[in-house]
Each structure stands twice: as C-alpha cells, then as structure tokens.
Structure 1
Amino acid sequence: MKHAVMNNENRSSNIGEPTVRITRARAKALGSSSGLPPLHPSAKQNARHVLGGNLKRAASDNNNLAENSAACPQPKKRAVLKDVTNIKCDNLYINCINAARGQIVGCQPRKGSLQKKEKVAPARFVQNSKVPGDRRADLVGEMKKIEVEEIQEVSPAANLTIEPTKVNARYMGTAVRSSTEADSSVPMISPSDREDGMLRVKRENLDDRGITDIDSKHKDPLMCSLYADDIYSNLYARQVDRRPVADYMEKLQRDITHGMRGILIDWLVEVSEEYRLVPDTLYLTVNLIDRFLSENYIEKQKLQLLGVTCMLIASKYEEICAPRVEEFCFITDNTYTKEEVVQMESRILNYIEFQVSVPTTKKFLRRFIQAAQVSYKVPSVELEFLANYLAELSLTNYSFLKFLPSLIAASAVFLARWTLDQSDHPWNPTLEHYTRHKFSELKTAVLELQELQQNTTKCMVNAIREKYKQSKFKRVSDLRSSKPVEALF
C-alpha cells in the first residue's frame, strides 16, 4: 500500500514528465533527434504496459474499477438456445429451432466414425402457459412444417408419412398440443398391450368362424401360446422334408421284411419301458430307423444293431439322462460290442447330416389332443391315453409310412373320440382348424387304424397292447367302438 501511494504522489507532482519507460532504443532515438519522447506511446508498447500493470494493480485503481463496473454493468452471457422461461417473442420457437439446427450442422463427424443412416430430430419443448392463445396454433403449424422438412432432409428415399406429433411422442415422450387438442394425447403402447391386442383380434376372428381358441390362456409361459402357430407352421413344413421313403422295402431292402421291422420296433417298445424313456424317444427312434433304411442296404444280422443305435441317438437328444452305450450292448445280450455301436452311430449321423430334430407324430398329437378337449368341461384322460395308444400302434405297421405324421395324429384323435362317444360327430371346426386336415382326408388312415385296433388275435406284436392294458393307462387297449366308423364317411 505504501508503494502504491508513493507512486500516486510522484505521478501527481511530475505531471509534465513522460510516464513511459525509456528503453535503449528510445534513448538512442532521443539522442539523435534531441527531442522528447512522444506523449502517446505505440499501441504495442501500451498493450504490453497494460498487461504488465494488470499483474500488480494499485488499490485506487481497483476501487475505480469497481465503481466503473457498478455504474456500467456488463451484459450477461446467455446460452445458445437462450432462456425462454420469461421471454415472450413472436419468433421464439423458430429461433430455438434455428439455434439447435446450427449446433447440429456445426458438429461434423470425425473421419472413420460410423455414421447412422437415420437421425432423430432434436427435442423441442414449448410451454403453452408462456405462449399466447392466439399464437399457439401458429406455432404448432410452423412446427409441423419444419418437422416434415427435416424428416424429408434426413431420409429423402424413405417416403415416410408420419405425423410430427406422433414422432415426438414416440422418441421424446412429449407432444406439443394445440388449443383444440388440449385434452387429447398419443397413447404409448407397451409390448404386453400389443400382445394382448393381437390375441384379442385373433380370438375375435376365430369366434366368427365358430372356432374355440385353445391359446386363450396366454399368461402361462409354458404354453408358448404367442408362438404356437408359428412353431407348428414350421413343423408342418419340415415333416415333408425329413420323412422316410414309403416303399423302401420293395425298392432297396431284400434281406429284411415288414414283419422283421415290426418285431424290432415291438422289442424297442419293451426297451423303452425298461429304461423308462419318454415317448418322444420311441417315435424319434423309429423315424431314424426308417430314414436310414430308405437309402442304405442292411443285412438282417445288423438290424438289431441299427435299432439300438438309433435309440441311443434318440436318447441323447430327448432324454435328460440317456442310457450309456454299455447298457444298450447289455440289452442285446452282448451280441454287439461297444465299438460296433459307436461305429454304427457315426455312420447314421453322417448319413442324416446330424438332422435329428424331426416333427414326429407325438409332437402333433399333443396339440391335437388339446384342441379335442376344449369342448369338454373336464379334460378326458381316457381320450388322451386312447389317442396315444392308437398312434403308437401305427409305429409297428409298415403301411403307415405313406401317411404324414400330422395326418396320423389327427386320425388317432378322430378314432379315439368316436370310440369313447358315438352320439356326436368326432370332427368339428376347431379340430379342422388346428389339425389343418379336413374330415374327408382322414378316411383311409382312420380305417386302417380301426383295423389295427380290432385285430387282437392275428397280430404278433403285443408290446404296445400290453403296455396300455395297465391300470395307469386306464386299460384303453381293451376299448372298442360299438358302431363302425366307416358309416361316418
């Protein structure tokens, strides 16, 4: 402080003296011209002096600066979009849009960065309480025009026709509403609501045709009701591609007969009961046997080896705990070694190209039984067991290879309903819709199934009949229809 006061006093006493620092260059210039230094120094030196003086400013200078700043306040810096809360301007909304657009245009993407094909328009917020009522409609109209132009600029080849307010509601969650649309809002549709709407429309279409919706209990995730139609559409297409040749016995196989095949499958039924395998394993085993025999010649000494190997592959695919290779060798009384089974397994898998997933009769039968029991107040256990019994009878008969698995499943349900109740027709629009087979298409398969059902003395394979004579299956193998089913056709 003392030095600052002394400097002020010295300056006030020596008013006429130059206040500029005399350097060597200036002294040399003074000596040559014999004159005084200029009263106003150059701009460069003045700026240097000012910068140097700012580092150590006197107290009086600080006070004067404070007084001057109080008398002339500096303008407050604002953001690019400005504060729109307390300002009323006719072109307020347009200015905000232009400012935001200038920011987006000014930011160029770096080289090598991924550029998105589509851009979302920036968020726009308009407070209706701060905008006059007569001007609000004009702002909404201008906003719609600008948003349509921006959408066309971003994706000119898309040819999108989207309402601007819906775009804002979808991406920003906020929609600008005019005075006439003050009470209306754009609903936000959640995935669950969309699924419920789709199921509701589907159910209404089915009710118009007299079809009962079996997927109405869509809240149960184990039913997969939302995807059931798509799943079975895929199964219907694949059952044609991965089916065996219907007459391979006559064309290729000369050492085995229809009876040998039936005896093999009847023995495999006993094996599946011994190891408590699921029914899907048995159906897949028979499918693998027929697919391999369709294009591969085999001797009758290797037929049992083919059967146990196909059951081994099916068990690995369907079972949680599949039996070991040694167990299948033991079940054949060690007729085949482990090396022979493994070698046959490799041969089968290479032939089918590891396409083990096959739509068998059992897969269709589950859904058809569910459709058949919709009209019942209480689910019929006898109907389910009898339909499964008739479908398994078709496995042992070589002549059923000419039918599709879905047709065999539909015929088994048809005959089971007729066996249990002859008072009503066994086919209805619900079954026709879900099985995708008309009543007239089932005639041949139903008649052959009924012949197998009634033929109890001449048949040499009885493992399936003995299996369904058990009390846990309600002894459905003993049931017969009192009226012939042929009268229905």
Structure 2
Amino acid sequence: MKKEKSVTLTALELPGRLTRSQAASCSESRQFPPLKVVTQQNQKQSKGANPKRPVSDNTRLGRKRRSVLRDVTNISCENTYSSSFNATKIQSDAMEQSQIQLGSNAKGLPEIGLRSEDVTCSVNLQHNALDSQTPGISAQTLISQKKVLQIVEAKKGNLSGAPNIAKDPDVTDIDAGFEDPIFCTIYVVDIYDNLRVAELSRRPYPHFMETVQQDITQTMRGLLVDWLVEVSEEYKLVPDTLYLSIYLIDWFLSKNCIERQRLQLLGITCMLIASKYEEINAPRIEEFCLITDNTYTKEEVLKMEIQVLKSVAYQLFAPTTKTFLRRFLRAAQASYPDPIIDLECLGNYLAELTLMNYDFLNFLPSMIAASAVFLAGWTLDQSSHPWNPTLQHYTGYKASDLKSTVLALRDMQLNTDGCPLITIRTKYRQEKFKCVAALSSSKLQDAMFRRQS
C-alpha cells in the first residue's frame, strides 16, 4: 500500500505546498484539494523557468492577483476608464490636426475653436454666473458676465466672438509678423479666451465693505493701496506684483472680517506673496517688517501668510487689469504708424488710479483695461473717435459697453472728488512716464458711445 501511494504522489502534483496545519485540517474534514496532472507543456515551462523565481502567471497567487485587479479596476471603473481613454484620443487627434495646420498655415491656427479645457471652463462659468446673480451684484457686472458667456458659447460652434480678421478689412492683425515665441502668437487667442472666463470665476465680492467688514472703511483701504504703491516704487517691483497684491487684499477682505490694526499687516503679507509669485528676486520678510517700523514681527507675517493662502485656496493667479491692458494697448498702437509711448504711459496711469477706488470692483478687469485705453486715446487725440474695429475685435467691447466705466474713470482722472491720495499722481508726473498725470481730457459726448465702430 505504501508503495502504491508513493507512486500516485509522484505522478500527480498538488496545486501548492501544504503546511502541517492545512494537512491536519484537510484530514479531519476529509476534503483534500483537487489533484492536477502535470502535462508535458507545464513540464517544459518549468524546465525553462528560473527555479528560484517562479513565474507568477503559472501560480495560484498570480491568478488571484489578476482576478482581484480585474474586479477592482476594470469592472468598477469601467466607465471612467473608457471616458478617459476617449478624452485622451480626442486630445491626441486635436494635437495631430493642429500640427498639420501649423505646417500648412501657421497664421490660421489661432482661429481654431474652443478646446476641451475651454468647454470645461465655460460649464463652470455658467454655474458661477448663475450663483453670482445676487442683489449685491450690479447690473453692469451681470451684463458683462452675460456678454462673456455669449462669446464662449459662440466659440463652441466654431464661430468667433468678434469679426473675423480675414473677412473684415478694417481689423488689423496685431499678431502677424511676430516670430518671437515669447509673444505666444499661436496660442494667444485661446489664452485670452480663458482669461475672460477666469476673471468671472476668480473675482472678489464687490460689496464686502458693506456686508463683511465691520471695523475698516473704504478710506482705510484707499490709504493702504496708496502706501503699497509707494512701497512697490521703493523696492522697484514690477506692476504685476502691485496688481496681484491688491487683488489678494480684496479677495481676503471679501471673505474674512479683519480689525483695522491688522490691515497693514494684511497689505505687506499680500505684497510678500505677490512678490514671490511675480518677482525674480523678491524682498525678504524682514524688509517688509522694516518698512512698517517693525510694527509686526516675522512670525505674525508668516501666520497671516498662511491665512491668505488658505483663503485663496493656494490659487494665486488671477487675471488683473494689467493682464488685459498689455494686449489692448497693443491693439490701440496698431492704429498708428509708430508706437506712441504717451499712450502706453497714460493707459497705465489711468488703470492704476482705479486700484485706489473701491467702487471700481463693480467692473471687470477687462472692462477697466478697455476703458483706460478708450480714455487715453481720447485724451491724446480729441480730433477723432478713440474706438475702432480693431479695438472692438480684441477687447470684445463696443463703445456703448464702456460708457459708465469711462465716465467714472474720467472723474478719477480729473479728481472731481478731491481725493488727497497723491502717490500715483506723483509717480506719473515724472519724466520717465512722460508726465501723463498732468494731462486732462475734455468732456465726453453721449454720441461717442452711441456710435457703432
């Protein structure tokens, strides 16, 4: 009997090595695992395999791992996997198509319709626009939001939100002839379309002084901005740092109530964050503490920095007036044979004036930038209309859309309310800025805004 049993065991193979405890349990239950006959194919595979590292595909552990992964990944996430695969395929097809068009006609590439990222942003924009229709939002803001929504919806159908350059001879192509990759002429249309969407979703609440704040006023905010302009001049910071600093301040104040003793702390902290984001060599924390006569310590600034970053959810970028002003000024310069430095300086001066005024939070940054270009053109040349089809094409605004913003900006230029804050005016009275702060414009007629360019 023992001899027959040994012969049977050599001819058959158990599916795996049994321990003593497993053998004892099997003998008690009288249920032994099924036997498996070793075939010639399995013998050949076992001879060619590494004896120290068994092939996982031929073991029970390998089959178990595959079955588990199939159950978890392929079945439960089948829809997600297929949708991501389709999205990847669509993106690859779109990239191949853009490469073909780039090789054949590089100038026609910016006219491609919305991409998948634009569609996603437009969907989020619709929800944000519906959520923002509260009694606190002005009618002008809602009109601007609706206008941008129409532009995005138009681009979904391979239409342009403004006249086509190729079909409209009055529109100058400001991106033609620029081979420098720093101008991003291939992607500039899509970039600014996304910026127009982002300025709606990432903007401070325009009435936080009346609803959120209890200890600070509009005058205190104006004093803080005026002082930060002086600080930016002291440290020779780029204009984007100043604009981003004011944006972070307004965003934080629209969500958090703050005491007046900590308002200056908020100002230097937001400028510190903006400097880290925009500057090549940002000033140190100690320098910002020193400029406040050491009113605040380094630890207080670091603590406030954490609060500001959490408030913006660590999303520091947001399109400001300066972001749009560069392109709008470039479109305005296309009307002249040679670039006019006075136009650029005056446009920047008018845009910076709006930083001090709390009421300009009711207007979109792109609308403020377009209005600054409108008023700057009228101030320098009052013999012709300051708006033309090229500006209308690249700004997306008609002259009638800018009436209220331009009139409010002209009041700021003339200082009709007698504002005592003079830092920005003193800054732009310097010769390097062509003394544009000393210029003034004549009265604007209503017919200028009724004219269709």
Residue 172 of structure 1 corresponds to none
Partners in 1 of 2:179 and 2:313 — Cα distance? 38
Residue 419 of structure 2 corresponds to 459
Match of 2:106 among 175, 180, 196: 196
Q: Deviation of residue 231 (structure 1)?
A: 0.5
**Cα shift readout 1:168-201 (whole Å, capped 9, x = no counterpart):** xxxxxxxxxxxxxxxxxxxxx9665334362598
Q: 1:303 to 1:486 in 2, by over 3 A?
A: farther
**Cα shift readout 1:228-285 (whole Å, capped 9, x = no counterpart):** 0011011001001110001000001111011000000000000000000000000000
Q: Deviation of residue 487 (structure 1)?
A: 5.1
Residue 343 of structure 2 corresponds to 383
Residue 208 of structure 2 corresponds to 248
Partners in 2 of 1:305 and 1:384 — Cα distance? 33
Q: 1:231 to 1:460 in 2, by over 3 A?
A: same
Q: Deviation of residue 411 (structure 1)?
A: 0.3
For CA contacts below 8 A with separation 6 or more, give which structure has more relative contact order.
Answer: 2
Partners in 2 of 1:486 and 1:190 — Cα distance? 49
Residue 147 of structure 1 corresponds to none
Alignment of 1:443-482 (within 5 A): 443-455=403-415, 458-482=418-442
Residue 293 of structure 1 corresponds to 253
Q: Which amino acid aligns with 1:196?
A: A
Alignment of 1:45-60 (within 5 A): none
Residue 228 of structure 1 corresponds to 188
1:206 aligns with 2:116: no
Residue 355 of structure 1 corresponds to 315
Q: Is the 8 A contact 2:215 2:258 kept in 1?
A: yes
Partners in 2 of 1:483 and 1:403 — Cα distance? 22
Match of 2:327 among 355, 367, 370: 367
Partners in 2 of 1:486 and 1:266 — Cα distance? 33
Q: Is the 8 A contact 1:289 1:307 kept in 2?
A: yes
Residue 410 of structure 1 corresponds to 370
Question: Considering only aligned residues, what root-mean-square deviation do their CA atoms show, in Å?
Answer: 2.4
Partners in 1 of 2:296 and 2:111 — Cα distance? 59
Q: Is the 8 A contact 1:447 1:485 kept in 2?
A: no
Q: Is the 8 A contact 2:374 2:406 kept in 1?
A: yes
Secondary structure, in 3 states, of the residue corresponding to 2:185?
coil
Q: Percent identical across equivalent pairs?
A: 60
- Rg larger in 1 or in 2? 1
Residue 436 of structure 1 corresponds to 396
Partners in 2 of 1:190 and 1:429 — Cα distance? 31
Q: Is the 8 A contact 2:107 2:176 kept in 1?
A: no
Partners in 2 of 1:433 and 1:270 — Cα distance? 36
**Cα shift readout 1:49-101 (whole Å, capped 9, x = no counterpart):** xxxxxxxxxxxxxxxxxxxxxxxxxxxxxxxxxxxxxxxxxxxxxxxxxxxxx
Secondary structure, in 3 states, of the residue corresponding to 1:206?
coil
Partners in 2 of 1:337 and 1:281 — Cα distance? 22
Partners in 2 of 1:240 and 1:194 — Cα distance? 36
Residue 154 of structure 1 corresponds to none
Q: Which amino acid aligns with 1:348?
A: V
Q: Which amino acid aligns with 1:208?
A: K
With the length of structure 2 as denominator, give the TM-score of the two structures.
0.64
Partners in 2 of 1:200 and 1:285 — Cα distance? 32
Q: Deviation of residue 459 (structure 1)?
A: 1.0
Q: Deviation of residue 439 (structure 1)?
A: 1.3
Q: 1:201 to 1:397 in 2, by over 3 A?
A: closer
Q: Which amino acid aligns with 1:227?
A: Y
1:342 aligns with 2:302: yes
Residue 268 of structure 1 corresponds to 228
Residue 422 of structure 1 corresponds to 382
Q: Is the 8 A contact 1:419 1:481 kept in 2?
A: yes
Q: Is the 8 A contact 1:246 1:401 kept in 2?
A: yes
1:282 aligns with 2:253: no
Q: Deviation of residue 438 (structure 1)?
A: 1.6
Say how many residue pairs are matched: 305
Q: Is the 8 A contact 2:343 2:376 kept in 1?
A: yes
Partners in 1 of 2:111 and 2:255 — Cα distance? 48
Q: Is the 8 A contact 1:418 1:485 kept in 2?
A: no
Q: Is the 8 A contact 1:218 1:226 kept in 2?
A: no
Partners in 2 of 1:292 and 1:354 — Cα distance? 12
Q: 1:303 to 1:197 in 2, by over 3 A?
A: closer
Secondary structure, in 3 states, of the residue corresponding to 1:469?
coil
Secondary structure, in 3 states, of the residue corresponding to 1:425?
coil
Q: Which amino acid aligns with 2:167?
A: D
Partners in 2 of 1:381 and 1:207 — Cα distance? 29
Greater fraction helix: 2
Q: 1:316 to 1:197 in 2, by over 3 A?
A: closer
Q: Deviation of residue 482 (structure 1)?
A: 3.1
Residue 313 of structure 1 corresponds to 273
With the length of structure 1 as denominator, give the TM-score of the two structures.
0.60
**Cα shift readout 1:316-372 (whole Å, capped 9, x = no counterpart):** 000000000000000000000000000000111011110101100000000000000
Partners in 1 of 2:259 and 2:110 — Cα distance? 57
Secondary structure, in 3 states, of the residue corresponding to 1:208?
coil
Partners in 2 of 1:396 and 1:201 — Cα distance? 38
Alignment of 1:52-91 (within 5 A): none
Residue 179 of structure 1 corresponds to none
Q: Which amino acid aligns with 1:476?
A: V
Secondary structure, in 3 states, of the residue corresponding to 1:424?
coil
Q: 1:285 to 1:239 in 2, by over 3 A?
A: same
Spell out structure 1 runs of 4+ moving beyond 4 A: 189-192, 199-202
**Cα shift readout 1:120-155 (whole Å, capped 9, x = no counterpart):** xxxxxxxxxxxxxxxxxxxxxxxxxxxxxxxxxxxx
1:326 aligns with 2:297: no
Q: Which amino acid aligns with 1:206?
A: I
**Cα shift readout 1:417-436 (whole Å, capped 9, x = no counterpart):** 00001111111111111101
Partners in 2 of 1:280 and 1:299 — Cα distance? 27
**Cα shift readout 1:391-415 (whole Å, capped 9, x = no counterpart):** 0000000000000000000000000
Partners in 1 of 2:387 and 2:264 — Cα distance? 40
